[in-house]
Amino acid sequence: MESISNQRGSLAKTNSGGPIGWLLGLFSSIWLGVSLAVILFFYCSVGSGAPQVRQLPSLEMTEFEWFHWWPFNVLMITFTLNMIVVTLRRIPFRFINAGVWMIHCGIITVTLGSYYYFSTKVEGDAPVFRHRVRIEHPSFAKPVSLVVLPGATEQVVAGPDVWQFRIQSTNNSWPILSDDHAGEKAFAVNISVKPPTGEPYVRQLLDGYEEYTEDVMPGKGRAIKNIGRKLVDEKLKLTLDHEPQTYFHVMDSWALFSRTVGETEWVERRIDNMPRYNDRIATRDQIFSDPQSPVEINAIDLPVPSQADGDPLARTPVHVTGYLRYAYMQQRWRDGGAALNPVVAVSVSSARSEPHQYELAALHPSHAQSDDGLMEFRWLKRAADVARLPKDSMPVLHIEVPASKVSIDVTMTNETVAGPDGEFTPIEHTEFSYRIRGGQDNLSIPGENKTVSIAMVEIKTPTGSFRRWVADDPALTRDIHGEGEDAHDMDTKEPDSRIVMTYAAASTPIILAGYPGGLHLVYNGPEGRVIDQAVSPGQSVELLPGIHVGVTGYWPHAQAETKPYVVPLSARQAGAKETYSMIRLEVGAGQGLQSQWLTYHPYALPNEQYIYGGRFRYEPTRFRTADGQEVEVIFSRRREPLPHPVILEDFALDTHLGGYTGASMTIRNYVSTLRFEDDGQWTEPTEIRVNEPMSHGEYWFFQSVWDRPSPNNPAGGMNYTGLGVGNRHGVYIQLTGCCIAVIGMCFAFYVKPVLKRRRAAQQRAKIGRHRDAEYDTQADVIEEVAAVS
């Protein structure tokens, strides 16, 4: 290769002067090529090694966009031109130079192939769900469909009747025990059916074994054993169908999908020029953020024009006016509400840990207590009620015997709780004695959204004894007569009024008690329970040495405010990409302008059946158009129709020794069996695996993601497969170019030296024969050989 540097190629022309000649001269320069290669090196390094640069607010580019930006294109075109001109003008077209020619031609071919490839590239992914259940009943107007994903529900209203269906569970390797199929395994779906009348039951469907469909009655077992037939309601027909996927979503794209409420089909409009990496907000009021990571104000206003027929927002202006890369909706409280809604904000700090912040709302059971059980906020009608707060954080049993005017409080500790075999404690000046057997706090009441705390007490009277369940809600306190422990043997009665008991469940160590005009802090101090500590916003109290509780805000009439919380950089999951992105969408104009934050959806799914325990998102946001129409909108990616819809026939794991345990390393491969629709017919099943893709039509399908079974339930999961979808025009041109270049390199580096050496040897031989005549010294010979080389 060195020999070409100072030679002129066979097609070389003398520079004719003028701009063209100057340009030809420039593009014939190896130094130009080297300079371009250096620029290319730095361009690639910055784009890939320092993504912060391409992610700057003024650029906002993905890797793909960075490497298709006009400077890169200009660079590549210049580099290719340089290579073409240099090859033609400076490398003699001789066999000895075939290597260099092939390298250059190969690289030029790769470049052209890549240009074709990337300019036509479409790439995305699509989840393909395994099945849906087709539900038919004579009373239904039309068949109903329910996707087979555990948790998916469907309610069917048929006249006055309401049916409820729910996918209870699936099993990807259900063993068949009956008949000739014993030993085989099938995909099983259990559907919970709640008919308008009668008991709910579960219907089990086995994929490919319709004859084994049967109902199971909860608590009773298989229907056939209870009612003599396999199906509770033989008119109800549930069958497994395939769930064709007709779209795939395009990688690194943005789109808005809208439809009138009640419609089933989404209408897409693409969002162009959207930021991707940097937050864009118009005012800080639009969000919550960490005080140490403030979000810069940098507004955007991107119109999102309608692009398709049937768009319910076609005549309504739609703009994206905000973007958040990583945020989630959060509810906080602030003052200024009309109704009573006491909320307190508290900070707990210790010398050795960071302060913990709490916001507690007294009238909202789920927000009244801190998650760690450290404190709770109660609302009292008057200040005097503070005295009635628990004087101990331990549970307290209050006993009153009205006839004797005796009233005692028993703190339930290891000493006072006697258990079933302990001694009875007499109540002084009365004829009663008691034995506390135990207590249970915060028991859920079935069917009701509340809890109850109970102390179990045995009471001995002069005439006998009975048990009492003393609830913290006195209305639920019951006396139990009878010996058995079984519920059926129990005889429960209203409590005996001769002895009255109330139970105060264990309280949190810290209680904040609000009342009209004030706030109290009740806590366990170093010298016992403190109940007379009034506090006000801004005040901090030292509970124990080094541990402080500070009230940072107190609003008796608080109102909830829900806004996106921008997660600080340090708390963001690496690789989350756009999963937690949000946009602020403005719909309408003037008086009718509505503005809401929309969360990102990886897929524009048709309804909430597809949520699958939160694995997929379905949170449409509703807007009302000027003509009163209610429209729902979701923020997602662009989608492309699949020319040939695809169904998932089967999805299986190929495992290593010991089977699948939940660890990725136990999986050898994932196998999706697919069928495509061709001219209205489904093709024969074809398997794809990791590293074994397939092409159908213009697209290439490859195994991308999967529905991972839980390690605790290896038979679950596998309800859908995730297919990568893309085209690959120009791949073979690229490959051809690569191969030509490889051959060229081998020729240039390893064949050419041999050829040259052979020629030099021939030359030497020739010289040797005539050396006496033509050369005087060996030095001349060496000089000649060097010239040939």
- Which residues in the 341-380 window bind other proteins by CB under 8 A? 350, 352-354
Q: Is 182 in the site for other proteins (CB under 8 A)?
A: no
The nearest distance, CB 522 to other proteins, in angstroms, is 23
Q: 540 vs 573, which CB is nearer to other proteins?
A: 573
Q: Does 77 bind other proteins (CB under 8 A)?
A: no
Q: Which of 338, 339, 665, 787 binds other proteins (CB under 8 A)?
A: 665
Among 67, 129, 554, 597, indicate the residue that binds other proteins (CB under 8 A): 67
* Closest CB to other proteins among residues 363, 715: 715
Starting at the edge strand found earlier in the chain, the sheet holding 161-175 runs: 153-158, 161-175, 185-194, 201-206, 214-217, 221-222
Which residue, 99 or 588, is less far from other proteins as judged by CB? 99
Nearer to other proteins, 389 or 746 (CB): 746
Residue indicated by tokens 């005796």: 406
> How many Å apart are CA 281 and CA 565, to the nearest integer?
12
700 lies in the site for other proteins, by CB under 8 A = yes
C-alpha span between 106 and 738 (Å, rounded)? 6
Task: Give residues 107-126 in contact with other proteins (rule: CB under 8 A).
Answer: 114, 117, 121, 123
Asked whether position 780 contacts other proteins by CB under 8 A, the answer is: no
Q: Which of residues 467-506 bind other proteins (CB under 8 A)?
A: none
Rounded to the nearest 10°, the torsion over CA 82, 751, 786, 104 is: 0
| Token pair of 190 as six digits | 């259990």
- C-beta of residue 606 within 8 angstroms of C-beta of residue 154: no
CA 712 and chain centroid, separation:
21
Three-class HEC string of 446-468? CCCCCEEEEEEEEEEECCEEEEE
Among 8, 25, 26, 40, binds other proteins (CB under 8 A): 40
Q: Does 575 bind other proteins (CB under 8 A)?
A: yes
Q: Does 389 bind other proteins (CB under 8 A)?
A: no
Smallest distance from the beta carbon of 713 to other proteins, in angstroms? 14
Measured CA to CA, the distance from residue 191 to residue 201 in angstroms comes to 8
Site for other proteins, residues 726 to 755, rule: CB under 8 A: 726, 728, 731, 734-735, 738-739, 741-742, 745-746, 749-750, 753-754
Interaction between residue 56 and other proteins (CB under 8 A): no
Q: How far is the CB of 720 from other proteins (least distance, A)?
A: 18
* Only segment of 419-427, 438-446, 583-591, 651-659 that touches other proteins (CB under 8 A): 651-659
Does 338 participate in binding other proteins (rule CB under 8 A)?
Answer: no
Beta-sheet pairing, 375-379 with 510-515: parallel
Please identify, among the stretches 275-283, 420-428, 579-587, 756-764, the one whose residues bind other proteins according to the rule CB under 8 A.
756-764
Q: What are phi and psi of 248, to 5 degrees?
A: -130, 155
CB of 643 to other proteins, least distance (A): 16
450, burial (CB in 10 Å: exposed 0-12, middle 13-18, buried 19+): exposed
Closest separation in Å from C-beta 559 to other proteins: 29
Instruction: State yes or no: residue 560 binds other proteins (CB under 8 A).
Output: no
In the complex, least distance from residue 491 CB atom to other proteins, rounded to whole angstroms: 35
The 3-state secondary structure of 647-686 reads EEEEEEEEECCCCCCCCHHHEEEEEEEEEEEECCEECCCE
Q: Of 11, 34, 387, 445, which lies in the binding site for other proteins, with binding defined by CB under 8 A?
A: 34
Q: Which residue has the tokens 């810069």?
A: 296
Sheet containing 267-270: order of strands: 267-270, 255-260, 630-636, 621-624
Contact call for residue 715 and other proteins (CB under 8 A):
no
Minimum Å distance from CB 216 to other proteins?
25
DSSP per residue over 45-59, as a string? HHHHH-HHHHTSTTT
**Number of chain positions touching other proteins (CB under 8 A):** 90
- Of the candidate spans 159-167, 393-401, 551-559, 573-581, the one that interacts with other proteins by CB under 8 A turns out to be 573-581
Q: Which is nearer to other proteins, 600 or 699 (CB)?
A: 699
- Among positions 5, 283, 292, 449, the unique one binding other proteins when judged by CB under 8 A: 5
Tokens 């040797």 locate to 768
Rank residues 452 and 725 by Cβ distance to other proteins and give the closer one.
Answer: 725
Residue 468 in contact with residue 460, Cβ under 8 Å? Answer: no
CB-based contact 534:328 (threshold 8 Å): no
Name which of 427 and 725 has its Cβ closer to other proteins.
725
Name which position in 657, 684, 712, 787 contacts other proteins (CB under 8 A). Answer: 657
Our CB check for other proteins shows the closer of 48 and 119 to be 48
Q: Which residue in 22, 64, 93, 95 binds other proteins (CB under 8 A)?
A: 64
Site for other proteins in 759-778 (CB under 8 A): 761, 764-765, 768, 778
Which amino acid is residue 213, in one-letter code?
T
Residue 33 C-beta: closest distance to other proteins, Å? 6
What dihedral angle (degrees, nearest 10) is formed by the CA atoms of 37, 43, 49, 50? 150
The CB-of-239 to other proteins minimum distance in angstroms stands at 31
Element (H, E) at 532: strand 528-534
d(CA 213, CA 197): 22
At 385, give phi and psi (nearest 5°): -70, -10
Residue 121 CB, nearest approach to other proteins (Å): 7
Q: Which of 687, 643, 677, 722 is nearest to 244 (CA)?
A: 677
